[in-house]
Amino acid sequence: MADRRMFAKTIIDSDAFLDMPATTQTLYFHLSMRADDEGFINNPKKIQRVVGSSDDDLKLLIAKRFIIPFESG
């Protein structure tokens, strides 16, 4: 896994992103930082607990298509 990540300003400066609660935005950043080089995460619930976000934060990221869930996890 890489030690550094870059975030596109077109994403994080968008109204869709900025309209989300701070806890949802924080979860997005932490999920992104912990993803592997292909963008996959095998423990989103753990990351959620570590940063203090709720299930609704994860659901909002999915609903707004900032993250894409896979059936396999």
Which residue type does 23 have? Answer: T
What is the pLDDT confidence band of residue 70, given thresholds at 50, 70 and 90? confident
What is the pLDDT confidence band of residue 5, given thresholds at 50, 70 and 90? confident
When pLDDT is averaged across residues 6-32 and rounded to a whole number, the result is: 96
The residue written with tokens 């894409």 in the block is: 68
> What predicted TM-score, i.e. pTM, was given to this entire model?
0.90
pLDDT tens column, 32-64: 999 998 899 989 999 999 999 999 999 999 999
pLDDT at 73: 65
- Comparing CA positions, the residue from 10, 9, 11 lying closest to residue 65 is 11
pLDDT at 4: 81
Contact between 53 and 23 (Cβ < 8 Å)? yes
The upper half-sphere exposure of residue 31, i.e. CA atoms within 13 Å in the direction of its Cβ, equals 25
Hey, what are 1's tokens? 């896994």
